[in-house]
Structure 1
Amino acid sequence: MPQTLAATAAVELAVVERSGFIESRHSGAAVVLSADGVVSERLGDVDALILPRSSLKPLQALACMTAGAPLEGEQLVLATASHAGTDRHVSVVRDMLAAARLGEEDLGCPPAWPLDQATRDELVRDHSEPARIRMNCSGKHAAMLLTCVTTGWDPRGYLDPEHPLQVHIREVIERLIGEKVAATAVDGCGAPVYAISLLGLSKAIHRIGTASQTSPFALHRHAGTLVRAVREHPWAIDGPGRPDTVAIERLGVFCKTGAEGVMVMVARDGTTVALKMLDGSGRAATAVALRLLERVGALESSDVAEAMTRLPLSVSGGGKDVGAIRPAF
């Protein structure tokens, strides 16, 4: 049975400190690629398989673009997003569905409450219920539906791994990672997610993060457009005050969190990090990625330190900060 790296193949990436006591440890694997795409650091078994989860979304969004989906600006970012479900996010997703002449009932993702607490509280006060469009992956699903309508593929069954859309997405993913997918699983939102190596994921994200909008190759032009859109609309990929949005706003990186402790991040000079927390916790993932980019000189220490203060890394006790979640290096 395909599986991710073993505990014996992992290294310590982060610790949780409470009142001077190391309370918990997060182990995993991470790989750093230099600006020109060469592996400069390996931590743990980076050849092991992982499920990228939502860190796969940039690749899926690119596949939608190459199939002809008219995605740009905020809509393109929502196609790549794990959004917080605010009214602003939902408005963009509704526009994407309207362009496809489809409705919320056509979304294949499950109903969910928004990740944004204030929005959720307001919906509860209004006696609303979980909705598909509030689910953090609804932008990706709307983009997939729009792609089907644009290309003439039947949008019904669009999540089936053998649907023409998913076959095309898998082909684009394999082209970007430089390897064949090892297994197919069902993501939390119902879409196919593929087992690939952490190293393969890093190579794909590096190709995306360093692509030029003036490239003679359409895939690279689309990738350059995607990265530019994310940097211009960082609120859309996550949400105000949330980790991906903070990192993009404060440091200009291109990044995408994935469930179960996956993170990919590209600095403006092209230096790339991909990591997987073995225990599935993502609470330290952004901080670890930032520190890895900092220690190879891709980010300024002062800028990283300032961004860290805006991430949810504090450990509380008795209503006070008594410690922190921090990288183990």
Structure 2
Amino acid sequence: MTAPKGTFAAEAAGELAVVERSGFVESRHVGSAVVLGPDGSVLRTVGDPAAAVFPRSTLKPFQALASIASGAQLTPEETVLATASHDGTAEHAKIVRGILKKGGLRLSSLRCPADWPTDRDARDQLVRDGHGTHPIFHNCSGKHAAMLLACVASGWDPRTYLDPAHPLQERVREVIQRMTGEHVSRSGVDGCGLPVHALSLTGLAAGFARVRTTRADSPWPLYRDAAALTEAVLQRPWLISGRGRPDAVLIEELGALAKVGAEGVLAVALEDGTAVAVKVLDGSPRPAAAVAAGLLFAVGAIDAPALARVRARLDLAVLGGGVPVGELRVTCA
């Protein structure tokens, strides 16, 4: 029987970070990473960044661009929600409702799973009010709402927008391939029910660099939309996830376009086009942002004060009895 295809094996991974407790290395995070320079050259690699991975929610900027290219007219706030893995706060949900209202769509049109907010206060308030899970609180509801609006604008069936053969999903693949410069090697079903497409970390980093460096006066509509998306994210970092979340921290402190994805994926692109993409092999999200910042510092793309600001906000301390007794330490940079 032929073994199923998948991402890189442990033998091809490199150590990214360790978790140290009381002077003892308790855990080791392995994976792959790549740093690209402003000219697209490879500045640093760890493991096997040429291997395909499922980028998960790091695909959201490209998916949002496909929705916009398909006629979804979005405000800057709505553009960020279309790119977000949000916390399900009342503010997040309000913006998602606004996107649906533009298309005359009902909440029942959302095909993402029902979920609780990941924001603890928002979840507690729902429980106190006697409410339960709902698709609008799913972290991908903004992306789904934007796709539904695009279907209405283009005259496509909004009931089948999850189908990989749907015209909108075909456009998503086209945008991904155009922005990353890679052909989609394999597809699957993401946690929210939409298609997810495999790319290399090198292609993912290149795609983020292209989105981050596009100009508002580009002659190409897709690139103008990418510039508008980047500006919207930079002005409203917390909407892309939640206050103090790792990608929001990277956006705020580095002026970067940053996005986390499930199973330990993260992509970051700076204003000059320097970009990094990380995949933690066991799927842990814990080290990815620290690794990305450490690699950017190692190649001279950010300075020591910027790295210190990021690290201070990532809560990397290891606690014992409620006090710090160690830390997560990046070892690949």
Q: What TM-score do the two structures reach when normalised by structure 1? A: 0.98
Q: Which residue of 1 aligns with 2:179?
A: 176
> Could you say what secondary structure the match of 2:86 adopts?
coil
Structure 2 counterpart of 1:74: 77
Shift, 1:248, TM fit: 1.2
Answer whether contact 1:2 1:183 (CA < 8 A) is retained.
no
Q: How far is the alpha carbon of 1:311 from its aligned partner?
A: 1.2
SS at match of 1:309: helix
Q: Does the residue aligned with 1:247 lie in a helix, a strand or coil?
A: helix
The equivalent of 1:218 in structure 2 is: 221
Q: Superposition RMSD on alpha carbons, in Å?
A: 1.1
Give the superposition deviation at 1:326: 2.2
Q: Which residue of 2 aligns with 1:33?
A: 36
Q: Which amino acid aligns with 1:289?
A: A
Give 1:195 shift: 1.3
- 1:226-245 aligned within 5 A: 226-245=229-248
In the alignment, what sits opposite 2:11?
8
Number of the residue aligned with 2:300: 297
What 5-or-longer segments of structure 1 have no aligned partner? none
* Contact kept? 1:212, 1:220, Cα under 8 Å: yes
Alignment equivalent of 1:88, drawn from 91, 113, 118? 91
- Structure 2 residue aligned with 1:165, among 165, 168, 178? 168
Q: Counterpart in 1 of 2:151?
A: 148
Question: Secondary structure of the residue that 2:224 maps to in structure 1?
Answer: helix
Q: Distance in 2 between matches of 1:60 and 1:7?
A: 30
In structure 2, what is the Cα distance between the partners aligned to 1:146 and 1:2?
A: 35
- Give 1:19's aligned residue: 22
The corresponding residue for 1:63 is: 66
**Preserved CA contact (<8 Å) 1:267 1:293:** no
CA contact (8 A) 1:85 1:116 kept: yes
**1:325 Cα deviation after fit:** 1.4
Structure 2 Cα separation of the partners of residues 36 and 148 of structure 1: 36
Following TM superposition, the consecutive aligned residue runs of length 4 or more in structure 1 with deviations greater than 4 angstroms are none
Q: 2:249 maps to what in 1?
A: 246
| 1:115-174 deviations in Å (ceiling 9; x for gaps) | 111111111122210110011000000010011001111101100001111111111111
Structure 1 residue 56 displacement after superposition? 0.5
* Larger deviation, residues 151-160 vs 117-126: 117-126
Instruction: Identify the residue that residue 325 of structure 1 maps to in structure 2.
Output: 328
In structure 2, give the amino acid aligned to 1:34: G
Asked if residue 130 in structure 1 is aligned to residue 133 in structure 2, the reply is yes
* Aligned twin of 2:317: 314
**SS of aligned partner of 1:128:** coil
User: What amino acid sits opposite 1:148 in the alignment?
Assistant: C
Q: TM-score, normalised by structure 2?
A: 0.96
Q: Report whether the alignment pairs 1:276 with 2:276.
A: no
Q: Distance in 2 between matches of 1:88 and 1:193?
A: 27
Aligned to 1:197: 200
Residue 312 (structure 1) shift? 2.7
**Structure 2 unaligned spans of 5+:** none
Contact 2:67-2:147 within 8 A present in 1 as well: yes
Q: 1: CA distance between counterparts of 2:201 and 2:48?
A: 9
Rounded Cα–Cα distance in structure 2 between residues aligned with 1:312 and 1:102: 40
Name 1:114's counterpart in structure 2: 117
Cα offset for 1:309? 1.2
Taking only the aligned residue pairs, the percentage that are identical comes to 54
Q: Give a deviation string over 1:165-197, Cα, whole Å, max 9, x none.
A: 111111111122222211111101111001121
- In the alignment, the residues of structure 2 paired with residue 312 and residue 2 of structure 1 have an alpha-carbon distance, to the nearest angstrom, of 35
Question: In 1, distance between residues paired with 2:74 and 2:37?
Answer: 30
Provide the residue aligned with 2:262 in structure 1. Answer: 259
